Amino acid sequence: MTGRITGTGSWVPEQVLDNEALSNIVDTSNQWIRERTGVERRHIAEQETTAEMAAKAGKRALEQAKVDPAKVELILVATISGNEILPCTACRVQEMLGAVQATCFDLNSACTGFLFALNTAQAYLKSGIYRNALVIGAESLSNLINWKDRGTCILFGDGAGAAFLEAEESGRYAQITHSDGEKGKALTCSSRNQKQYAEHPDAPETYMEMDGREVFKFAVSSVPQVIQELLEKEKIPKEEIRFYILHQANIRIIQSVSKRLGEAEEKFPVNIQEYGNTSGASIPILLDELNRKGCLQPGDKLVLAAFGAGLSYGASLLEWK
Ligand code: COA
């Protein structure tokens, strides 16, 4: 059994913060951000919660798949920015969608979160435990960012993307993932939920912190390496890949991966200019845009690849419906 994607959806907040407006908040410029990252604007969830965005993206995926929410068996939400610790974001989504039969849980693997959630869903479908799954990546990173730190706040944005999977006998899905906890310090965000029992300290405000150069170096070597590993394992020549749908973190990282693989940049669709890095939401938002624009044809082989905090990275191969 393999999970076939029968519907995709996405949702981003209306509120837009462009580079010009951002340069009034922090010492940067539109030109610097565009040239060094490719980001032109990002969407900010001022009113919406992560769960609301996730539910809206999920609803669109179910509508496209023409599936009654009451028939959904599994909801997985990849997120690092749920607005509550309890209940999980996936249970909130369940409630909003009326997906009364679904088993729901969240998965935290930062920017590789959607890939890891997709792999988890595929494993459940392959084993026959569930027959379908709604996999969502949703983030309100604007809540975790230090808006005084120009090294991070220029990069990130908010939004949600979703894919609905249905098990079928035929179809193809393969994945390779890696985690490297020794490099974890390069990208961190301490919990605001600090020790209370013994010391009752005033919990410090904590934000996402990043060694940008280290993460950049990691990405440009690990992503092409894991894609090559996957293609070799699956014995697929790279010429057969229609699109490489990469986590949208930095246009220079995407260009470098294309160069290292010896593959044309046209095979690497991008939307980072519009949304910035939306972590676990970036791959499903891009997938949904390509799908809705009619860019994906039956039989197309797609590679999805991501890297992020952990540090972790991975790539998946799937054949479009
Ligand atoms: N605006 C203007 N200048 C800035 C700036 C900003 N937002 N951020 C840094 N600079 C300055 C630095 O102070 C430095 O100045 P100096 O040369 O006078 O010391 C110069 O620009 C270069 O800084 P550096 O940190 O080397 O820039 P960079 O080219 O590495 O770009 C990132 C920084 C963060 C954009 C880049 O490292 C990156 O994208 N890394 C990967 C991050 C990532 O993908 N994270 C998510 C993982 S899922």
- Work out the percent of the chain whose per-residue pLDDT is above 70: 97
| H or E stretch covering 113 | helix 113-127
Give residue-wise pLDDT tens across range 59-90. Answer: 999 999 999 999 999 999 999 999 999 999 99
Q: Which of 17, 23, 36, 252 should be mutated for ligand 1, with most atoms under 8 A from CB? A: 36
Tell me: the pLDDT tens digits for 13-23? 999 999 999 99
Residue nearest ligand 1's atom 47 by CA: 308
Within a 10 A sphere around the Cβ of 197, how many other Cβ atoms?
5
pLDDT score, position 248: 98
pLDDT at 47 over 90: yes
Q: How many angstroms separate the CA atoms of 24 and 28, rounded?
A: 8
Whether 200 is catalytic is: no
Q: Is 178 a catalytic residue?
A: no
The predicted structure's pLDDT at residue 159: 98
Atom index in ligand 1 nearest the CA of residue 152 equals 34
Instruction: Give the tokens for residue 25.
Output: 């908040």
Amino acid 262: pLDDT = 97
| Average pLDDT value for the chain | 96
According to DSSP, the β-strands at 74-78 and 132-140 are: parallel
The answer to whether 37 and 154 have CB atoms below 8 angstroms apart is: yes
Q: Locate tokens 């990130």: which residue?
A: 156
Q: Whose CA is nearest to atom 46 of ligand 1?
A: 249
Please state, in angstroms and rounded to a whole number, the distance separating the CA atoms of residues 210 and 187: 4
Atom 34, ligand 1: which residue's CA is nearest?
Answer: 212
Dist CA 177 CA 80 (whole Å):
19
- Residue 3, token pair as written in the block: 């999970």
Q: Is 189 a catalytic residue?
A: no
Q: Which of 88, 104, 111, 189 is catalytic?
A: 111
Using H for helix, E for strand and C for coil, what is the string for 231-274?
A: HHHHCCCHHHEEEEEECCCCHHHHHHHHHHHCCCHHHCCCCHHH
Task: Give me the mean pLDDT over the 292-306 stretch.
Answer: 97
Best probe residue, ligand 1, of 29, 213, 257 (max atoms within 8 Å of C-beta): 213
pLDDT in tens, 108-157: 999 999 999 999 999 999 999 999 999 999 999 999 999 999 999 999 99
- Write out residues with Cβ below 6 Å of ligand 1: 28, 32, 36-37, 111, 150-151, 154, 187, 210, 212-213, 215-216, 219, 249-250, 277, 308
- Is-contact 279 139, C-beta < 8 A? yes
pLDDT at 202: 66
pLDDT value at position 18?
Answer: 98
Measured from the Cα of 150, ligand 1's closest atom is 7
Q: Whose CA is nearest to atom 48 of ligand 1?
A: 308
Q: Whose CA is nearest to atom 13 of ligand 1?
A: 151
Neighbour count for residue 159 (Cβ, 10 Å) = 32
pLDDT computed for residue 222 by the predictor: 98
Kindly give the number of the ligand 1 atom that is closest to the alpha carbon of 306.
48
SS3 183: helix
User: Cα(311)–Cα(219) distance, rounded to whole angstroms?
Assistant: 10
Take residue 257 and report the two structure tokens written for it.
Answer: 């991966």
* Global model pTM greater than 0.85: yes
- Return the closest-CA partner of residue 246 out of 212, 286, 208: 286
Q: Check residue 191 and give its pLDDT.
A: 84
**Rounded Cα–Cα distance for residues 54 and 13 (Å):** 11
Q: Could you give the C-alpha distances from 273 to 183, 262, 280, in angstroms and in order? A: 28, 23, 17
Side-chain-side CA neighbours of residue 164 (13 Å): 24
pLDDT one-digit tens code per residue, 188-243: 998 877 666 666 666 667 899 999 999 999 999 999 999 999 999 999 999 999 99
